[in-house]
Chain A
Amino acid sequence: MKFTLSWLKDHLETDASLDEILDKLNMIGLEVEEVVNPAEKLGAFKIAKVLDAQPHPNADRLRVLKVDTGEGEPMQVVCGAPNARTGLVGVLAKPGDYVPGLDVTLSVGKIRDVESYGMMASERELELSDEHDGIIDLPEDAPVGMPYVEYAGLNDPVIEIGLTPNRPDCAGVYGIARDLAAAGLGKLKAHKKPEFVTSGACPVNLTLELGDNPEHCPAFGLRLVKGVKNGPSPKWLQKRLTDVGLRPINTLVDITNYFTMGHGRPLHVFDADKVAGDLVVTHYDGDGEEYKGLDDKTYMLESGMVVISDDNGVESLGGILGGEASGCTDETVNVLIESALWDPLMIARTGRKLGVNSDARYRFERGVDPAYMAPGLDAATQMVIDLCGGEATDAVIAGEVPQVETIIDFPYSEVKRLSGLEVSHAEIKGILTLLGFHVSGMGDVVKVSPPSWRPDVFGKADLVEEVVRIVGLDKVPTDTLPRTSPVSQKVLTESQIRRSNARRTLAARGMDEAVTWSFISKAQAELFGGGAPELALANPISSDMSDMRPSLLPGLLLAAQRNADRGYPDVALFEVGQVFADDSEKGQKMVIAGVRRGSATMGGAGRHWSGNSASVNVFDAKADAEAALSAIGAPTDKLMVFTDAPDYYHPGRSGALKLGPKNTLALFGEIHPRALEKLDIDGPLVAFEVYIDAAPEAKKKATRSKGALQIADLMPVSRDFAFLVDASVPVEKMLKAAKGADKALITDVNLFDIYEGVGVPEGQRSLAIDVTLQPTKKTLTDEEIEAVSAKIVAAVSKATGGVLRG
């Protein structure tokens, strides 16, 4: 919402300075977004008179002027304007002055060998209008030497406030003045009473035919003014409109815009001679037709839209946009003025459908003061008669203006309860009254009804806000929230703790935490098991961001590639974030995922004197997954490795870590070459995903004690074994068998060599382990060690078919 200081002062009698006004606007909730004073950039230009204009000796179209600046000797100025002549009073720009329309700072110049000490400016050069046919031509009595902004009344700051949707009452300058007056910044000037007399009834009738939805247009006022003389509106009115960014059209249309901006009262004017028969407000029931608006654009009407029609058809989209066919032009002599009430929801719906953002829609969908409908019509009629002459008829008023029925039982104590601010009963009552509220009753609880222009006020809290914003939020004493417990308590949930631990663990493993978009392209979603219709956005911002991600990997893999494309091929990235299986609350899961690319292993990437880093492989991903699982407190000793990872992983180089066949805690592996191809990226790339909340929560222990430490005094014994095992047997099976051979004695089994090749039969592997035996009671004899060794060989053989290598 834009207005100028002088417009505000039409309604507010105040001595306050601009800064005081701006401060107060902010303090009462009318946030100042921008203040522009056109005078600032034009302050240097002064009125000057051409004493003499002679032809330029070297150019036919140029003239050499002697200009009186009001001080000192006349100046010589070379000028090319066709209207430059002796006696002209215009606006002079001197060397050193910045000319905004040309974006140059003037200096003394020589034009065709004649020196020029300045420039007589056109309106375009001062960015006042597009006028550039000649230089500014002021009346002869314009005082030479006076700053032009002062003379032209340009010293008038334009203030823009960010109007919140609850304050339609301030969508007009008058309402802003009313709010400022209530806040003690001056006195609201009364509306001028219309003085026109009417002659007879309005010849055009208007009816409301809205069937089951009379609320779409509760009331409608219409009046004919005959014999007007339309044309360009007076300068002052044009300036009002251009100052706030509107284009002057003609007097009648400008008057409607003046009321929209000045009083928050949108109006419409029909050229009565283009209206055929009576007008009717009704729901459009055709099957679509083109409607040409006053904005020169064409819209397609839809069945059910509220329109104003006559015998010719649709003439206006009520409350949103008037029609071109019956619009007022310079030739209009008989005008029908409309002042109506429209249903905010209906206006919002239609406006949205048609994509019209008119000043009328803006106000009607927020709520226009119903009580000002008829007075607004009268005030506009007066202005039409004042500016265009003519003779007014009586008004036709159809429907009924709704009355405000809200009455709030308001205990004065609410102000203190909700705000902490002490305000006396008298002051509260005074503020509400100044704002137009009606306060009745005595004692601690009063009845308050809001004024017709405040559709946002329903209850006690709204009244507290009114009081507090006028008294000033800065007056509310700051208070401290009392502590709830002497020592801060644990505030994180198990899942939050897990995420935090995993995040810091992975970063400590050399990975960088990324945050990638929650939405990805449909193709990417489908590649990773997603793409369900219920997770596709109806209005995505782009096709790259259309579907909720089923996995963190597409985002991370593409991020790794982006880094590679920028010259950083060895990156290790992880993310802790949500993935979506369906649109339910449970369908959203927290996942930790990471990718390593190139040679970004935990030991470091790239070449180094101590040994070059190998390409990342599946075990790097497995290590990350296990580290993350350990960090979140998953029972890592109970995990089983399965080889059924989803198909975006390499089928032979991936795994799933599970607690039982159904509870997958983590996935890891190389990315499937086909998936890489479809994402248009290249590796080496390995990845892992950990399902944070799939791990069972550790049982609550009764005590934090770790129990006594048991240490054996006896030396452990180590024995090596090498087995020939079928290559298809997972080593895990062999290790488990060895470890289980004697649970009392064997404390550790370590696989230290895997060998295939010369000396080992085709299709087999040699697996070498060392087994640690820890005696607890007495030192082991050779016989006892032999016996355990035999048990190990037997157990491995039974589990894997492997034989001890000779």
Chain B
Amino acid sequence: MSDLETLESEISAAIAGAESEAALEEVRVAALGKKGSISEKMKTLGKMSPEERQEMGPKLNGLKTRIGDALAERKEVLKEAALEARLKSETIDVTQPLRPAAIESGRIHPVSQVTDELIAIFADMGFSVAEGPDVETDELNFTALNFPEGHPAREMHDTFFFNEKEDGERKLLRTHTSPVQIRTMRSQQPPLRIIIPGRTYRCDSDQTHTPMFHQLEGLVIDKTSHIGHLKGTLEEFLKAFFEVDNVELRFRPSFFPFTEPSMEVDVKCDRSGNEVKIGTGNDWMEILGCGMVHPNVLRNCGLDPDEYQGFAWGMGIDRLAMLKYGMPDLRAFFDADVRWLKHYGFRPLDMPSLLAGLSK
């Protein structure tokens, strides 16, 4: 074996034996550094005769190239191994659970969500949203709505009264959202299309009645709207709200002092299970009251009943929520039990819209 062959095999063995990039660097310096074994051999080329150089030159250069390649190859292997080792050392247990994100845990109350659903539907039908105060006058809650003084219809309302004041005025908590009809008709010119969501109060308490509840009232005033339009409006609304293809409604004559004719509306449903299913079945369930605005109410708002006409309806927001989402007990709506809120509540970004469907 020539000297060069011996040198090459020694260096090759050193390269293969280098276990780290630093050890490999030492091998490189020892071979190819300024004073490295191959570099030293290269320096001897200058002193050689042309014949010798002719022979040794290619041999040495070949050796240098082969060692250089072997170093580079080994370096790549060592770098890969080092990365492997690092990655291994960095491994963590990604099954560790996160804290629940705030946006995942907060919930919107069903009353708000359902109100937003109702607004989305009626906004599309051209209704805007009107509101009024909870503390009302007797005039707006009753008299202007054609409840005569002392009439038994007033007693049906189980009104919460405030104490009579020195001037004889006795305010009350509105028993329905209808006073806002009067407020709107007295302050705006027809044509009118409004819905009125809000809190209402009656002194009554059992599983299906709470002293405070939420109502949504609707009002249309123009020169042409009649019972046919009322039927169409409510039918379209109920289909959209319950997200069913068809609803079957039954309109029954009834009595409210502020409408004439007055009607109650039953919806066909299936009550056989624990929950009521709308749009199927063979049972009837009363769902809302409505009618043509009473001529006296129009007159009380300065409108001529021979010129203007329209309809109004009222329904319980809480009750609609119960029917759609299956809450069994109205009282739980106002108890703020987080277990109930988490179960029946809605995610903050699930804003009801007609574009994506009212509910998920």
Contact = CB atoms under 8 A, between A and B. Distances in A.
Interface of A: 26-29, 31, 164-167, 344-345, 348-349, 352, 365-366, 416-421, 459-462, 464-465, 468-469, 473-474, 476-481, 483-485, 488-489, 491-493, 496, 500, 503-519, 533-541, 545, 548, 555-556, 559, 562-563, 566, 568, 571-573, 576-578, 580, 583-585, 587-588, 602-604, 608-610
Contacts of A344: 150
Interface in B182-217: 191, 193, 199, 201, 203, 205, 211-212
Among B132, B220, B250, which residue has the most Cβ atoms of chain A within 10 A? Answer: B250
A167 B225 CA distance: 27
Contacts of A563: 336-338
Contact of A512 (B122, B255, B263, B341): B341
Contact of B231 (A479, A505, A513, A518): A479
Interface in B263-286: 263-264
A562 B336 contact: yes
B253 to A, nearest CB: 3
A496 B129 contact: yes
B134 A588 contact: yes
A30 to B, nearest CB: 9
Interface of B: 96, 99-103, 105-109, 111-112, 116, 119, 122-129, 131-135, 149-153, 155-156, 160-165, 170-171, 173, 191, 193, 199, 201, 203, 205, 211-212, 220, 225-229, 231-233, 235-236, 250-255, 260-264, 292, 294-295, 305, 309, 333-339, 341-342, 345, 347-349, 351
A165 B193 contact: no
A484 B192 CA distance: 10
9 smallest beta-carbon distances between A and B, as pairs: A29-B253, A420-B228, A510-B102, A164-B255, A465-B261, A479-B228, A559-B336, A507-B348, A604-B99
A418 B292 contact: yes
A344 to B, nearest CB: 8
Contacts of A577: 199
B contact patch SS: mixed
A417 B160 CA distance: 38
14 contacts: A29-B255, A164-B254, A417-B226, A418-B292, A419-B227, A465-B260, A478-B235, A508-B106, A512-B336, A518-B134, A563-B338, A566-B337, A584-B135, A602-B102
A503 B156 contact: no
Given A500-B116, A508-B348, A583 B227 contact: no
A477 B261 CA distance: 16
B199 A578 contact: yes
Contact of B135 (A31, A488, A588): A588
Contacts of B252: 26-27, 29, 31, 473
A155 B75 CA distance: 105
A535 B162 contact: yes
Given A479-B226, A481-B225, A583-B162, A469 B261 contact: yes
B128 A491 contact: yes
Contacts of B153: 165
B295 A365 contact: no
Contacts of B261: 418-419, 461, 464-465, 468-469
A509 to B, nearest CB: 5
Contact of B341 (A420, A485, A513, A585): A513
Contacts of B232: 478-481
Contact of A580 (B135, B295, B341): B135
A513 B233 contact: no
Nearest to B260: A461
Contact of A481 (B125, B205, B262): B125
Contacts of A507: 106-108, 347-348
B119 A506 contact: no
A165 B99 CA distance: 59
B201 A514 contact: no
Nearest to A567: B339
A568 B250 CA distance: 46
A510 B105 contact: yes
B313 to A, nearest CB: 13
A26 B212 CA distance: 30
B171 A533 contact: no
Nearest to A366: B152
Given A348-B150, A418-B261, A496-B129, A539 B336 contact: no
Nearest to A578: B134
Contacts of B108: 503-504, 507, 513
Nearest to B256: A164
Given A493-B129, A538-B162, A488 B103 contact: no
B260 A568 contact: no
B123 A491 contact: yes
A128 B311 CA distance: 49
A514 B254 contact: no
B227 A476 contact: yes
A333 B199 CA distance: 60
Given A26-B252, A516-B336, A420 B226 contact: yes
Contacts of A540: 160, 203
Contacts of B107: 507, 512-513
A491 B129 contact: yes
Given A345-B150, A536-B163, A510 B106 contact: yes
B156 A536 contact: no
Contact of A516 (B100, B201, B334): B334
Contacts of B133: 585, 588
A513 B345 contact: yes
Contacts of B103: 508-510
Nearest to B309: A418
Given A461-B260, A503-B112, A572-B106, 11 more contacts: A348-B152, A478-B228, A481-B233, A488-B126, A492-B129, A507-B108, A510-B101, A510-B102, A534-B163, A562-B336, A571-B338
Contact of A518 (B128, B201, B333, B348): B201
A555 B264 CA distance: 35
B301 to A, nearest CB: 15
A556 B253 contact: no
A537 B260 CA distance: 33
B254 A29 contact: yes
Contact of B262 (A349, A465, A504, A539): A465
B260 to A, nearest CB: 4
A610 B199 CA distance: 44
B211 A504 contact: no
A536 B162 contact: yes
Nearest to A419: B227
B38 to A, nearest CB: 48
A468 to B, nearest CB: 6
Contacts of B155: 348, 352
Given A164-B254, A481-B220, A491-B127, A421 B135 contact: no
A483 B135 contact: no
Contacts of A608: 99
Nearest to A484: B126
A576 B105 CA distance: 18
A163 B31 CA distance: 113
A505 B108 CA distance: 10
B309 A512 contact: no
Given A476-B228, A513-B345, A515-B333, A485 B255 contact: no
B126 A485 contact: yes
Nearest to B153: A165
Contacts of B131: 493, 496
Contacts of B250: 26, 474
Contacts of B134: 518, 548, 578, 580, 588
Contacts of A417: 226, 309
Given A418-B292, A491-B119, A480 B336 contact: no
Contacts of B351: 504
Given A421-B227, A537-B160, A537-B162, A349 B150 contact: yes
Contacts of A419: 226-228, 261, 292
Nearest to A574: B106
Nearest to A29: B253
A504 B108 CA distance: 7
